[in-house]
Amino acid sequence: MTNIILFGPPGAGKGTQADILKEKYNLVHISTGDVFRYNIKNQTELGTLAKSYIDKGQLVPDEITIDMLSNEVDKNPDAKGFIFDGFPRTEAQAEALGHLMDDKDSQIDAMVALEVDDEILVKRLLERGKTSGRPDDADENVIRNRIKVYYAETAILKNYYKKMDMYYGIDGVGSIEDITERLSQVIDKIGQ
Amino acid (1-letter code) at residue 142: V
CA-to-CA dists, residue 102 to 13, 35, 54, 85, 148, angstroms: 29, 21, 29, 19, 32
What mean pLDDT is predicted for residues 129-139? 85
Q: Do 104 and 73 form a contact (C-beta atoms < 8 A)? A: yes
Q: Is 84 annotated as a binding residue?
A: no
Q: Is 107 annotated as a binding residue?
A: no
What SS3 string covers the chain? CEEEEEECCCCCCHHHHHHHHHHHHCCEEEEHHHHHHHHHHCCCHHHHHHHHHHHCCCCCCHHHHHHHHHHHHHCCCCCCEEEEECCCCCHHHHHHHHHHHHHCCCCCCEEEEEECCHHHHHHHHHHHHHHHCCHHHCCHHHHHHHHHHHHHHHHHHHHHHHHCCCEEEEECCCCHHHHHHHHHHHHHHHCC
Q: What integer best gives the mean pLDDT of the chain?
A: 92
Q: Does the structure show a pLDDT above 80 at 191?
A: no
Q: Is 15 annotated as a binding residue?
A: yes
Q: Which pLDDT score is estimated for 134?
A: 80
Q: Is 33 annotated as a binding residue?
A: no
Q: Which pLDDT score is estimated for 10?
A: 87
Comparing 79-83, 93-97, 130-134, 141-145, the range with the smallest average pLDDT is 130-134
Q: For residue 165, name the pLDDT band (cuts at 50, 70, 90).
A: very high
Q: Is 146 annotated as a binding residue?
A: yes
Sequence ranges of the domains in the chain? 2-190
Q: Do 157 and 6 form a contact (C-beta atoms < 8 A)? A: no
Q: Which pLDDT score is estimated for 132?
A: 82
CA distance 64 to 132: 30
Q: Is 12 annotated as a binding residue?
A: yes
Q: Is 16 annotated as a binding residue?
A: yes
Q: Is 59 annotated as a binding residue?
A: yes
Q: Does the structure show a pLDDT above 90 at 18?
A: yes
Q: Which pLDDT score is estimated for 33?
A: 84
Q: Does domain 2-190 have CATH number 3.40.50.1970?
A: no
pLDDT tens digits, 32-85 = 888 998 999 999 999 999 999 989 988 889 999 999 999 999 999 889 999 999
Q: Is 87 annotated as a binding residue?
A: yes
Q: Is 149 annotated as a binding residue?
A: no
Q: Is 98 annotated as a binding residue?
A: no
Q: Does the structure show a pLDDT above 90 at 178?
A: yes
Q: Is 93 annotated as a binding residue?
A: yes
What mean pLDDT is predicted for residues 122-138? 87
Q: Does the structure show a pLDDT above 70 at 192?
A: no
